[in-house]
Amino acid sequence: MNNSCRDCGQSGECRLPPGMLEQYDLGTPTADGLMIWLEVSRHAGVFLESSSLEILSKAREIYDGRIFGVVFGDIELKPLYAEAFSYGVDTLYHVKDRRLIDFHPEAYCESMKEIAERINPSIILMGATPRGRETAPRLAASLGAGLTADCTELSIEGTVLRMTRPAFGGSLMAEIVSNSVPQMATVRPGTFPLKKASGNTAGTVIYRQYGGNSFKTIIGSEKRYSDEKDITEAKILVSLGSGIRNREAICIAESVAKKLGGMVSCSRTLVDKGWFPQIKQVGQSGRNVSPEIYLAFGISGSIQHKAGIMTARKIIAINKDPDAPIKDIADEMIIGDAESILKELDRIL
Ligand SMILES: Cc1cc2nc3c(=O)[nH]c(=O)nc-3n(C[C@H](O)[C@H](O)[C@H](O)COP(=O)(O)OP(=O)(O)OC[C@H]3O[C@@H](n4cnc5c(N)ncnc54)[C@H](O)[C@@H]3O)c2cc1C
């Protein structure tokens, strides 16, 4: 008796009933839907973080399927539903628990895992923010998925998410695809422009309870720096490097930044000198920034520094050396003494 399957020809019994192989491609994941964690900011009011809305804007542009948003908190989040829907969320999972107003990475991760197992998304995205960086790897590990961190471009081809991110210290851009499902990525804040999907402010909200107990008791917290905004949020950065010789120039840079509505940042050398706190450092071991304009005063453009400014919209370098490596990525080079030009700019403004 011939024991081979009449559909696939293999010996023994196939796991699927005859005929099914014609309809299903076993190599293609059946997961569908895109899930985004919408981070909530609670500084000066309660609102959705722009980093999350940026990802949502991009997701809606490249993805036709259902988009699921996830938020954590209590009833104070209700006014945010309309904004989530207007940016393209179809279904919003609200994990409603007062205890989750504070960030508890383990609890957030457990909740997102439960939701992911329920909706079986093909893609999960979140911001490469401090909270996103802490949560995404936990979630990826618990789902047995790969994770591409810190992406600066996303596109979709069929069911495949193509994720682009700087590699080798920013010297090249790598396009990465995942061989596991869900395909997971974190996205660098400030990478994509905000774009509302429609005037639609309605959608489905599903409340969920967090049943676990993965909480840490926070016994105290301390601000490492002032209440000033993070440099990653600045639209204009006046950035100083070791071409600046006098510490007084920092006051002038602050004055220029204020007049332009921006902030001051720096290269690592000035952090090492003790002139700036590390939170102001741009680059591979500092912050990745995406301002509209990045003014680099006396910064050479090392690989490590460039890695942090790859997504700046416009780079203007002020340097006495016309061949400084920053010229490769600068939109404009102004050749001259950094401090004199800074002073002159302050005077003109
Ligand atoms: C693992 C690792 C991680 C790192 N991470 C970072 C990081 O996150 N961020 C970072 O910035 N660096 C980082 N670095 C350090 C990095 O390699 C460089 O040393 C650093 O970026 C150089 O800073 P700079 O451009 O201010 O100084 P320099 O490289 O010394 O450049 C100074 C520039 O100023 C110009 N200049 C001098 N005098 C004047 C003047 N009077 N007027 C105008 N221009 C003038 C010079 O022509 C030169 O181009 C890292 C290094 C390592 C090994």
Residue 22 domain-assigned (yes or no): no
User: Mutual orientation of helices 105-119 and 130-143 as an angle, nearest 10°?
Assistant: 50
> Ligand 1 centroid vs 292 CA: distance in angstroms?
22
Assess whether 149 and 271 both reside in one domain: no
Q: Residue 326: pLDDT above 80?
A: yes
Assess whether 86 and 198 both reside in one domain: yes
Assess whether 39 and 108 both reside in one domain: yes
- Assign residue 78 the CATH number of its domain: 3.40.50.620
Residue 192 domain-assigned (yes or no): yes
Residue 251 domain-assigned (yes or no): yes
Average pLDDT of the chain?
A: 89
Q: Domain tally for the chain?
A: 2
Using an 8 Å Cβ cutoff, are 62 and 153 in contact?
no
Higher pLDDT, 5 or 180: 180
Distance CA 202, CA 156 (A): 26
In single-letter form, the type of residue at position 170 comes to: G
Assess whether 143 and 199 both reside in one domain: yes
Query: Nearest residue CA, atom 3 of ligand 1?
Result: 285
Using an 8 Å Cβ cutoff, are 184 and 146 in contact?
yes
Contacts of 100 (CB under 8 A, 6+ apart): 72, 73, 74, 107, 108, 111, 210
Using the atom order of ligand 1, give the atom closest to the CA of residue 285. Answer: 8
Query: Nearest residue CA, atom 28 of ligand 1?
Result: 300
Using the atom order of ligand 1, give the atom closest to the CA of residue 321. Answer: 47
Q: Residue 297: pLDDT above 90?
A: yes
Band the pLDDT of 292: cuts 50, 70, 90.
very high
Which residues are near ligand 1 (CB < 6 Å)?
Answer: 241-243, 267-269, 281-286, 298-300, 302, 304-305, 308, 319-321, 324, 337-338
Domain that holds residue 182: 27-208
Query: Nearest residue CA, atom 1 of ligand 1?
Result: 285
By mean pLDDT, which of 17-26, 37-46, 144-153, 259-268 is the weakest?
Answer: 17-26
Using an 8 Å Cβ cutoff, are 60 and 67 in contact?
yes
For the sheet containing 123-127, what is the strand order?
147-151, 183-187, 123-127, 34-37, 67-73, 91-96, 204-208
Query: Nearest residue CA, atom 18 of ligand 1?
Result: 302
Query: Nearest residue CA, atom 5 of ligand 1?
Result: 285
Pocket perturbation via mutation, ligand 1, pick of 238, 305, 335, 343 by most ligand atoms within 8 A of CB: 305
> Ligand 1 centroid vs 175 CA: distance in angstroms?
28
Assess whether 170 and 317 both reside in one domain: no
Using an 8 Å Cβ cutoff, are 179 and 159 in contact?
no
Using the atom order of ligand 1, give the atom closest to the CA of residue 302. Answer: 21
User: Which of 176, 208, 240 is at the close of a domain?
Assistant: 208
By mean pLDDT, which of 172-181, 218-227, 241-250, 333-342 is the weakest?
Answer: 218-227
Assess whether 83 and 199 both reside in one domain: yes
By mean pLDDT, which of 31-40, 159-168, 216-225, 280-289 is the weakest?
Answer: 216-225
> Ligand 1 centroid vs 130 CA: distance in angstroms?
25
Query: Nearest residue CA, atom 14 of ligand 1?
Result: 304
Work out the average pLDDT over 90-111: 95
Cα distances (angstroms) measured from residue 57 to each of 38, 51, 52, 155, 196: 12, 10, 9, 13, 7
Assess whether 193 and 242 both reside in one domain: no
Assess whether 192 and 335 both reside in one domain: no
Residue 35 DSSP SS3 = strand
The confidence score (pLDDT) of residue 177 equals 96
Residue 21 domain-assigned (yes or no): no
The confidence score (pLDDT) of residue 143 equals 96
Distance CA 238, CA 341 (A): 12
Assess whether 92 and 144 both reside in one domain: yes
Residue 16 domain-assigned (yes or no): no
Residue 58 domain-assigned (yes or no): yes
Assess whether 197 and 67 both reside in one domain: yes
Pocket perturbation via mutation, ligand 1, pick of 168, 171, 242, 280 by most ligand atoms within 8 A of CB: 242
Work out the average pLDDT over 230-235: 89
Assess whether 202 and 320 both reside in one domain: no
Distance CA 305, CA 281 (A): 9
Higher pLDDT, 240 or 196: 240
> Ligand 1 centroid vs 228 CA: distance in angstroms?
25
Helix, strand, coil abundance in the chain, percent, nearest 5: 30, 25, 45
Residue 15 domain-assigned (yes or no): no
